Amino acid sequence: MSDIATITQELLALERIIGVSFIDEIHLLTAITHRSYLNEHREAKQGHNERYEFLGDAVLELIVTDFLFRKYPEKPEGELTAIRAALVNTVSLADAATRMNINEFLLLSKGEAKDTGRARQYILANVFESIIGAIYLDRGYEDAKNFVAAHLFDKTDAIVSKRLWQDAKSRFQELAQEHVGVTPNYETLSQVGPDHDRMFTVGVFLGHEKIAEGKGRSKQEAEQSSAEAGLTVKGWD
């Protein structure tokens, strides 16, 4: 969404998607405005969304913490913390934003609008949080809570049942022991580049069988990447 003349119409469409009717639509407009957009549109009256994102992040954490605390009264603090982290990480929030088609409503610079992949994931995750902040400012905590519940809580059962709250290495080890009775081992296959910009390739093995490879800027990152790939190869993800 970049044509100023269409913004009011587009905001109404976005309100229908997110299920919230704003009292002051400047809150929603600010929530979808990236800093880069304002650099190219000096005439814009709204600010960018970074403060809203800051607020929304805190509101989201409280909403999710309260939800998990009540849903899983038997789980210890450490496990609840890990589940919460999995539920509100960049991938999860970006996925929720994508399912709502929020990408079509973002106000970005022409350069930012061309970005895809991980860069766009970060933007979408941040906008999801900034929308929470906007709802909280405009309609209050309960409406913000209802928004999060409608668009995020449905991920919880899968995160818990598939143990997605664990890091990839922990999940792969647990599932490898469960399915084949073997503890995975990791082997550095290569490392290239200077010390300040080194890239590691690590293989994950079950016994003598190499299951998958992963790359990373550190051995630990490459091991996590190879474990994630191993989960996919084995169909355990």
| CA atoms lying within 13 Å on the CB side of residue 53 | 17
Cα 176 to Cα 198: distance, rounded to the nearest angstrom: 30
The separation between the first and the last C-alpha atoms of the chain, rounded to the nearest angstrom, is: 36
- Which listed residue (25, 57, 112, 228) is catalytic? 57
In DSSP notation, 69-115 reads HHH-TTS-HHHHHHHHHHHSSHHHHHHHHHHTTGGGG-B--HHHHT-
With contact defined as beta carbons under 8 Å apart, do 106 and 1 qualify?
Answer: yes
b/e string for 176-204 if b means 16 or more Cβ within 10 A?
beeeeeeebebeeeeeeeeeeeeebbbbb
* Residue 129 is a catalytic residue: yes
Catalytic residue among 129, 138, 213, 228: 129
Tell me if residue 142 is catalytic: no
Enumerate the active-site residues: 57, 129
